[in-house]
Structure 1
Amino acid sequence: MGIGHRRSVARAAGIAAVALAVTAGTIGAAGAAPDGDPAQRPGANRLEGVWQTDGYGTIVEIHGTTFSTYDVTRISCTPGFLAGTQVGATGPGGAVRYGRPGKGYGELTLTPRGRDRVVYKEDSSAGTKNLSRLPGGLPARCTQPAPQDALATFDRFWATFEENYPFFAAKGIDWQARGAQARAAITPQTTTDDLAGIFKDLLEPLGDAHTVIGRKRADGGYGLVFEGLRPGTEEPDDQAREQAGRAVAAQLLAPERTFGRDRLGVGELPGGIGYLRVSAFGGYVDDGSYQDLAAELDKALDLLLAHPDRLSGLVIDLRLNGGGSDELGLRIASRLTDRPFLAYRKAARNDPADPTAFTRPQPVTVRPAAGATHYTGPVALLTAGSTVSAGETFTQAMMQRRPTTVRIGENTQGVFSDIMIKPVSADLIVGLPNEEFRTPTGSTFDGPGIPPDVRTPVFTPEELAALKDSALTEARRLLAAGAGR
């Protein structure tokens, strides 16, 4: 049973497949400034023009049916990683769907709010982004080729993190001092390999699994050069994952039914307890839309919850979850409640000069799924250091569910934000977080992760050698004793 899915693969949206297509040009390419204010032309598309995001360091340019982006810092403006084309006709209120060129489905929606504001929503991401019109059109510096020398590349990299990364203070990192020291060592002979190594040396001390470096391959894609990890955790190898699957299977009444290319598993434990394994919140189909992923997830949930009144409890296993779509996590939560509840509030850093300034916290609510069965009984979540990203936002959402969800195992990894992908040269891209997922009291779990209610070993070598699973055993015991009722 393939219980695990590698973190780097599950977060491939950060390197190989972002929301839309990689732009055809390089970071040195320049766009053309629009001629006048398109919004004033009779019968014009209400989205036509140039827009600035609140936070995220992005300019969005819409011309006709095309969508493109620029990444901006105080020192640079370069063509961004995202581009797409309109899918279908304009919807109610002027909403337009955009997707990858050549695909028949959309992946995000832009909706005008009056003349000078736009709301941006990715299908797979919780919450929205706000954009404001830039009345002067594309800034002049965005139309000039970006310098490609090593020093300019380093400065773009450093400024991207300086202006967007929220956690330097929490992690005790003096980014100014470390950046100055690294910059002093750069010469005209510094190569791309050298720069990748310098970037890695700067990012590794952050211990942040949402920091990424990628390098362009000969085939045009990007290979992973570096991704961070919280100190004290390590990536389970294939052998450990296989052993973990056998340890779980030893407690199931029958082999689990798998869905979504083995990223989802449904089984039954003794005493009428249901079991749901979620090894990733994505990757369930080959090159499909969010709606295709949701449909595959629904198949697993429909089997699991075919007779919710017969379940005495439910175990959701997130211990080897590499992340993915926050919306898919909310979709599971919507089957586990009969009343709306606040999952979390999402805010993004939005002032390059002030790391404490964030967008207005945006509430994200779980609402009961319409036209589907629901389970409202006790739930136990199994978590570990290899519970990452969307696995953690789902865990955070379930903490607000009633009745209470009991968490068993280890702290999650401690990364919650969507990953922003930013090109810093023609050959190098970086990924970084810029958001906080806040609890109702305004706190976050970034860094240490979400702690369990009950701490147990999780897939240790000793337990795996004995086909033992203390966390699953404890979940069964607690649910049988009435925990979470």
Structure 2
Amino acid sequence: MQKILCSHIIAACVLLSGCNSSDKYADPNAINGDQYTGTWIAPAYGEAMVVERNRVLYYQYTSEYCIQSDTDNGSNADLEENYWQISVDQQRMRQVLSLYGIDQREPEYIKTDILPESCLQNLVKKKNESGYTADASRDFDFFWKMFYEYYPTFNKRNVDWESQRSELSVSLDANSSDETLFYALAEMIEPLGDSHVTVMLDGSDDEGVNFTRGVTLIDRITEEYISNNGSIDNDQQYSQYLSYLEEQSELVDQIRLSYASDIENIKQAANGNLTWYINSDNIGYLGIENMIFFSGDNTDDISFVEEIDALQSAMQQAMSDLTDTSGLIIDIRKNPGGFDGASQLIARYFLDSERELYSKQARLGDSRTELEIYKLQPVNNSYTKPIVLLTSAMTTSAAEVFALMMRNLPHVTLIGESTQGALSDVLSKSLPNGFKIDLVNEYYLSPEGDFFEVEGVPVDYIREFGTETQRLNHMDDAIELAIELLN
């Protein structure tokens, strides 16, 4: 799952926010609402805002194209209430959230006199707007420019983006259908193998395409199903495949829980996303299945405050039960990600001291934005006994950020597979025809400057996750090794 931390979610956190991320930002209580008025741009993100007294206009742009992506009116346009902070010199603006010792920062906007040139000279009308003209060739070029100007890892992924355009643009013209364009864009992104890069059809969050790297548990189960049953050629076969996939995935979960000393002592919290138990050797197990959905499953109405509140309560409960164990296994092998803030909050329970845990910056043309360092302090009575962190190729996004933080700690050992290699936040865009595009534009770095995008966060001991042999023998090789190391 991609990281989800948009402005409307952070806006729900205004009453609990309280710490500035930098001394260059003014005391929020001293901000005059009129100071927000004007034009603001985030060049590394291709975003712009025009702030008026009762209206905010949002733009997405490249060097050649621009669309007005959204409009907020009335109370939604009250940036002061939505906790936007302004720098002391009134030339920079951003949203900042500090809650339970975590620090979530949104992109920084710079004040400017006018919108980017493309927004002045080539503002493209969107579908359902007056004056819109369908043009698949234009939308393909807009898409290509988004990646060309903001995407940071073409070289690491060995993808020649210009060659991709040359090969695939010839199949399109202005009158090509949305279906033809969709398949062309899907072919464009396939070589990237980036699970954070997605093309979605107009009006749908479900009908889209993206591609992953590495061999995941799902890949293993799929390959063995096809090997045993042949190709999947119709709806009935696909339904049978899905049943097998669900059955085998549940078996993996049952095996993970089978190491508990007593099945009656297995506990869950945070909407089932935290599971913990103690084995017969007094070794604790903490499974973290998501970095989101701690307060519910409604993807259309996510409150960041409610999410973090639910996670904080669950972590307090879990660590109270696990505090007297001799060692701890933390399992994030099936965790697809969610909020960086959730990863930060969990990591605080295992810190031995205040630490710089990672840093991030965004691509800015041929350079990068200023490096931002993330430091965290431990909770009171944090758990600093030996810990084994289990990861896999399914460990993605904010879960990878958790692994990036935990690998810094002297009492933590990583076992499993390298993570997915998709740490960056998702940068969401739109095309004039209504397609939704997800890409990335950021660098997440270890304190030593390691950049694990693409190859993933490495492990100390390699153990494959959920192989057919392990499932047949009702064993989990990574948990077996973790218990051996912790005993």
Any conservation in 2 of the 1:47–1:112 contact (CA below 8 Å)? no
Aligned twin of 2:418? 411
Secondary structure of the residue that 2:364 maps to in structure 1?
coil
Change beyond 3 A, Cα 1:276–1:96: farther
Aligned twin of 2:8? 20
C-alpha deviations, 1:345-397, integer Å up to 9, x for none? 1010011xx2xx1112110112223xx54212211100001111111010001
Q: What pairs with 1:127-146 in structure 2 (closer than 5 Å)?
A: 127-136=105-114, 139-141=119-121, 145=125
Any conservation in 2 of the 1:110–1:121 contact (CA below 8 Å)? yes
* Aligned counterpart in structure 2 of residue 284 of structure 1, from 294, 299, 303: 294
Q: What pairs with 1:11-410 in structure 2 (closer than 5 Å)?
A: 11=2, 13=4, 19-20=7-8, 45-64=34-53, 66-80=55-69, 86=75, 96-98=80-82, 109-121=84-96, 126-136=104-114, 139-141=119-121, 145=125, 148-217=134-203, 221-233=204-216, 235=218, 237-255=245-263, 256-286=266-296, 287-306=301-320, 309-351=323-365, 354=366, 357-369=367-379, 372-401=380-409, 403-410=410-417
Q: CA deviation at 1:254?
A: 3.3
Any conservation in 1 of the 2:416–2:464 contact (CA below 8 Å)? yes
Q: Which moved more, 1:432-441 or 1:230-239?
A: 230-239
C-alpha deviations, 1:425-447, integer Å up to 9, x for none? 33211101111111222221111
C-alpha deviations, 1:208-262, integer Å up to 9, x for none? 1111111124xxx433310120143363632232011110111012342222222
Q: Which moved more, 1:285-294 or 1:200-209?
A: 285-294
Change beyond 3 A, Cα 1:44–1:474: closer
Please give the TM-score of this superposition, normalised by the length of structure 1: 0.81
Change beyond 3 A, Cα 1:176–1:288: closer
Any conservation in 1 of the 2:64–2:122 contact (CA below 8 Å)? no
Distance in 2 (CA, whole Å) between partners of 1:144 and 1:189 is: 17
Distance in 2 (CA, whole Å) between partners of 1:12 and 1:327 is: 10
Q: Which amino acid aligns with 2:374?
A: V
Distance in 1 (CA, whole Å) between partners of 2:341 and 2:146 is: 27
* Aligned counterpart in structure 1 of residue 437 of structure 2, from 430, 440, 448: 430
Q: CA deviation at 1:151?
A: 1.0
Distance in 1 (CA, whole Å) between partners of 2:124 and 2:6 is: 25
Distance in 1 (CA, whole Å) between partners of 2:186 and 2:104 is: 29
Any conservation in 2 of the 1:380–1:405 contact (CA below 8 Å)? yes
Distance in 2 (CA, whole Å) between partners of 1:279 and 1:66 is: 40
Any conservation in 2 of the 1:70–1:142 contact (CA below 8 Å)? no
Change beyond 3 A, Cα 1:174–1:268: same
Change beyond 3 A, Cα 1:170–1:137: closer
Change beyond 3 A, Cα 1:398–1:478: same
Q: Which amino acid aligns with 1:145?
A: K
Matched length:
424
Change beyond 3 A, Cα 1:12–1:240: farther
Change beyond 3 A, Cα 1:453–1:158: same
Q: Whose helix proportion is higher, 1 or 2?
A: 2
* Structure 1: runs of 5+ lacking an equivalent: 1-9, 22-42, 99-107, 481-485
Q: CA deviation at 1:143?
A: 5.5
Please give the TM-score of this superposition, normalised by the length of structure 2: 0.80
Share of identical aligned residues, percent?
23
Distance in 2 (CA, whole Å) between partners of 1:477 and 1:253 is: 16
Any conservation in 2 of the 1:46–1:112 contact (CA below 8 Å)? no
Q: CA deviation at 1:319?
A: 0.4
Distance in 1 (CA, whole Å) between partners of 2:122 and 2:90 is: 23
Q: CA deviation at 1:465?
A: 2.2
Secondary structure of the residue that 1:235 maps to in structure 2?
helix
Any conservation in 1 of the 2:278–2:325 contact (CA below 8 Å)? no
Any conservation in 2 of the 1:302–1:373 contact (CA below 8 Å)? no
Any conservation in 1 of the 2:36–2:51 contact (CA below 8 Å)? yes
Any conservation in 2 of the 1:258–1:264 contact (CA below 8 Å)? yes
Any conservation in 1 of the 2:384–2:411 contact (CA below 8 Å)? no
Secondary structure of the residue that 1:240 maps to in structure 2?
helix
* Structure 2: runs of 5+ lacking an equivalent: 10-31, 127-132, 220-244
Distance in 1 (CA, whole Å) between partners of 2:335 and 2:33 is: 45
Any conservation in 1 of the 2:67–2:432 contact (CA below 8 Å)? no
Change beyond 3 A, Cα 1:81–1:398: farther
Distance in 2 (CA, whole Å) between partners of 1:113 and 1:191 is: 50
Secondary structure of the residue that 2:86 maps to in structure 1?
strand
Secondary structure of the residue that 1:199 maps to in structure 2?
helix
Change beyond 3 A, Cα 1:216–1:120: same
Secondary structure of the residue that 2:207 maps to in structure 1?
strand
* Aligned counterpart in structure 2 of residue 449 of structure 1, from 440, 445, 456: 456
Q: CA deviation at 1:188?
A: 3.3
Change beyond 3 A, Cα 1:373–1:60: farther
